Structure 1
Amino acid sequence: MATATTSKAPGGPFILSRATTPQDFTDIVACEFRTFTDSFIRDLFMGPDTPSNQSRLASYYHTILHTNPADVWIKVTEKRTGKIVAASNWRVHMGFVPEHEEEDMGWEWLEGDEEKLKKCKEVMKDIADKRRSLFREPYCQLHICFTDSYYQRRGIGSMMLQWGCDLADQLFLPSWVEASPTGNFLYRKHGYADVDVKKGGDMEGSLMKREAKVLFIGGGAKVQGDRS
């Protein structure tokens, strides 16, 4: 996987690279909690902002990375400080379409709150149903994407999107993202378009698709006498 840098933004330059180590995921989860403060998003995907739960979530991400061959994490690091300021999780399904089972987060943190637990399970079922209905060919998916609020609007999100779009184009694969209203504009800039839009409720947003941009690749020098 390639490494990219940009030095135009204040606080940079920023370096994009693979995330693979336990320490990477400890820092990524800390960044994720700084970014996502919405209580429903935390209830659904993350859990409470406590040291023990952050450690659990970091271990969960690290385990999936090493057990799911489609799983890829990238991180963006501020070169001056070494701080992880953004990360994204991509799922790259090159030769098959997964079953799209409903993701079970356990939701231990919602024990005793049946109403919230029921809502979380309903949202996960809806997500899985949409994927089963629409993801019918091999594809790339931007599964998670976030930038520390202090570092937003500095082109870091575009760095991660460009990396993923270039990868999808090289693999000749369409790519998908479940976009929040705030992320929709960024994804449109990179060629995604709305396929299914949900208005209102706790998970307002859209399911977006980007077709691969297949570039002509020339080559193969013709030798004398070659009639092919």
Structure 2
Amino acid sequence: MTAPVRRDAPRPAGPRHDGPWLWPGTAGGPGRRPAGARRPGLPEAVLFDRDGTLVVDVPYNGDPERVEAVPTARRALRLLRRSGIPVGVVSNQSGVGRGLLTRRQVEAVAARVDALLGPFAVWAVCPHRPEDGCGCRKPAPGLVLAACAALGAAPRHTVVIGDIGADVSAARRAGATGLLVPTPVTRAEEVRDAAGHTAADLLAAVRLALTPRHPDGAPW
């Protein structure tokens, strides 16, 4: 069996100034929230990591036919949409920088995810390698900040759900709330560092995100 591939190491080397790829979900869906539309205590937006969180992780996947939703994903997203909360995807795709994927392939896989689980209001994708030193690759906050800006959502009122520590760290550095859904690639220290912001599966994470909080967005 092929060992799982993690997406958060090694540390960056030199700075990159070209930002993330950003586009609206191909299936449409709720976009920017009108000013003042947020329900007190609930998030303005929920952002998801792609691989290992929304869909089964297939390393450097450029084939839409290999996209498979994780259990509970449809139910979780249906619950969010019924609540009127915009949802987006924030995804590291270093296969582009490594020469293993093209933008067309990344967009084709995104379109398949949209077809299976959409509509997503925004996609924010980092195409850089870890050593490129960009500001968008998680655990840097760039993807989260870009998606929040596209949705008109304040980061402090946004929840980011992912399966590894880089997702939670990106949320924290952006001023958002991170929720960890551990998988076999999640390290024990990442679960420990999440300090209570963990859930057994995607549906449980969304239910936690929808648990009313203090109106100022303080953690649960």
TM over 0.5: no
Task: State the TM-score, normalizing by the size of structure 1.
Answer: 0.35
Task: State the TM-score, normalizing by the size of structure 2.
Answer: 0.36
Q: Which protein is bigger by CA-based radius of gyration?
A: 1
Q: Which fold has the larger relative contact order, with Cα–Cα distance below 8 Å and residues 6 or more apart in sequence?
A: 2
Higher percent of residues as strand:
1
